[in-house]
Structure 1
Amino acid sequence: MSHKRIPKRKAAIAVGGVAALGAAALLLPNANASQDDKAADAAPRTLRANDASDLAAQVRGLLGDAFAGSYYDSGSRQLVVNVAGDDDATLRAQQAGAVVRRVDNSTAELESAARTLRTEATIPGTSWAVDPRTNRILVTADSTVTGARWDRLESTVQGLGSGMATIKKSAGTFKTFVSGGDAVFSQVQGGAVRCSLGFNVTASDGSPAFLTAGHCGVAAETWSDSETGQPIATVDQATFPGEGDFALVTYDDATTQAPSEVNVGGGQSVQIAQAAEATVGQAVLRMGSTTGLNDGTVTGLDATVNFQSETDPSGVDTVTGLIQTDVCAEPGDSGGPLFTQDGNALGLTSGGSGDCTSGGETFFQPVTTALQATGATLGAGDQNGGGDQNGGGDQAGGGDEAGGDGAGGDGAGGDGAGGAADPSASAEDPSGVGDPAGGDQAGAGDQSGAGDQTGTGDQTGTGDQTGIGDQSGTGAHAGASRSRTH
């Protein structure tokens, strides 16, 4: 499948900002105290997963070249920072509140190794991402990588040097999850395409729109809310393959109500308050049109995936900059949302291997990157200042997430209705999003109570979401982020 960009209706780009750390941030309280005394006084901070992402960005700015990755330890609720450098860097990370771990491989060395893999081992069915928990590059090969291809991959990894990378075999096959499910549909030559809606957004010209996977946007230009229905939305921009896998699709009716929420089954939905960066070790939820609600953990960032080209049997579609997870997914889940239980939008389902019976790896397009590239803002209206989507800001109902360990409970298989339980619960006790499951979502057609979300940002009656199953007319558009994301 070739790279395709559909021209934007407006050229404005909303650039999210991360506050720069001034030089004063490097000044320590007592200039005469010894480094040992200061290190002893520094205590690791207890953090929510979302706050850990902010601290990781801060520490990276403080350490510069000495920063070698970080991850969130959900057990201790602390950020662990890898430092490859001098004692001053260690002290700065400790003073910021992180747990410091000295490692051998610097970020520059790991990035150089990744470039070598890109040059010498861009083989369909392979992926690689830095695993900060091992301070190595984790290279994954699916079941199609055998014979000479396997030998080539193994030789390349060995050539990187001892302790730089490891290889993992996956039983499945890397693929984009384009077909299946009952989410958004498009009629194309040769049949129908089905994908999942990710997040409702507002386009740069103020029109209602949604984000989905780029390979869905490249495959078809117009989309419907039913398999045989008339188109209700048109692709505005699409990127795949290359530097991402995302598409902005605008609703044809400018009066469409597009609430910023994700349907999690059983007539329940989770309000999406803001976009955020993912953190390795973070607990996450994924919703998809085929498998419903499933949970897992972020295992890598800035991942490169080499999909077998769907248009060229001997070609490869390489996508960079993805989030790697151990969440399961299946065909039809493409474009579906990756989010946290307290309402942070993290990613859009791209592809992976395995299924929700045997498990596997799934990769996601970061939402923050997609928003910046398309100029869209999250939700129906101006959220978080209209474009500054990266902060840990004021989340309606976001409160204190216990441990930041947001998935909780049984993620695979089963009865997707039940548990997405009670979005009206406080963030300290987000009961229910902990019994996610996949298949049985019969109740999704009748979500008369989905709008009644008191407690999650005080959203009583968001759009009066009765009759999602009856998708005729403009009213069906209001439920797009609910019925199209399961």
Structure 2
Amino acid sequence: MRHSRGIATGAALAATALTLTALPSIAGAVTSSPTDTPAKTSAETTLTAEALRAAEEMPAGALKAMQRDFGITAEQARERVASEYRAGKIAPVLAKDLADSYAGAWTTGDTSTLVVATTDPAQAPAITETGARAKVVEHTLAELEAVKAGLDRAAEKNSTTAAPVWYVDVKTNSVVVHASDTAKARAFAEAAGAGSDLVRVVKSAEKPRPLYDLRGGDAYYINGSGRCSVGFAVTKGSQQGFVTAGHCGRTGSSTTGYNRAAQGTFQGSSFPGNDYAWVATNSNWTATPYVKGSGGANVTVAGSTQATVGASICRSGSTTGWHCGTIQQHNTSVTYPEGTITGVTRTSVCAEPGDSGGSYISGNQAQGVTSGGSGNCRTGGTTYHQPVNEILSAYGLTLKR
């Protein structure tokens, strides 16, 4: 169904959106006087043009995602973005002019109609004249934010799991608290001095947790001490994790991430003979198809086709970052003090301690994980990587891409 208020009627909507006489500062921002029609028309035209441009310049990925997630057409998505752009420009001006009576603003409906709340009924006609919908409520935004700030302070003093989420909800003109145990949540709110007329407790099974990305080249720590680097994010059925060097940890060793947050456990490890391992991570971590590249920019992994001898190859590690060189030989055997490993690839890329396990990538194709070598990244060196396809095959893993 085509929307009746959108880009097709953008000029008409903008023409009413900033025609305000009851609130002088908005009128002043648009026109020098209530009868200065040319200046007002110019401002309205500018706003309409900006809204249309914002809609037309939407990234293709965002446009596609809106169509998918909202179940709308591309035209309807652009209409919505244009309306929301105008709302975003108008709402702050209304907030300033309503001052102490302002109680928040939001958009609603398929056409993203702007709704502005106020505690002063006398301001409703002026809000309506802007093209927004007025809603008269009991509490100002400042009152609600003061209550939330009280809950914040209470949580800082005594951390609580009784109420995992709370926020100012301008739509219901209240502070909403989510909790599985509503009685404990109410007790928490009362202890913080939040009146029951301002706080609404909602029963919820929500259990927020931090979310971290698995990215090749980032650091991780083994058993709380030694440091290595993530190779590539992988999946095994519904389990997520990453591949790395076997000498970094033994099966059963625990890991924490670059941020020292609990991360996972080594599910398998082989060294010497081979130098590979994989770590299964907990639900706080999400596998991504990325390797940390030059300057921290992400390089997207598209596959794991092995590059030929002589091809360029780059390595990402938590000690020395991003360095490149060439593939010198495949199927190399190298002996470390701990024993000999076979089937690794020899490269001219430098590496240093802590880079172990990190990603080797040629173009957008994953190649392997850093094993060891000689030299350093100041004077140059030779390093070896364990081919990634062997690791995937050994443990039945799928490369995240």
TM-score, normalization by structure 2: 0.44
Name the structure where strand makes up a greater proportion of residues: 2
Name the structure where helix makes up a greater proportion of residues: 2
User: Bigger radius of gyration, 1 or 2?
Assistant: 2
Higher relative contact order (CA 8 A, sep 6+): 1
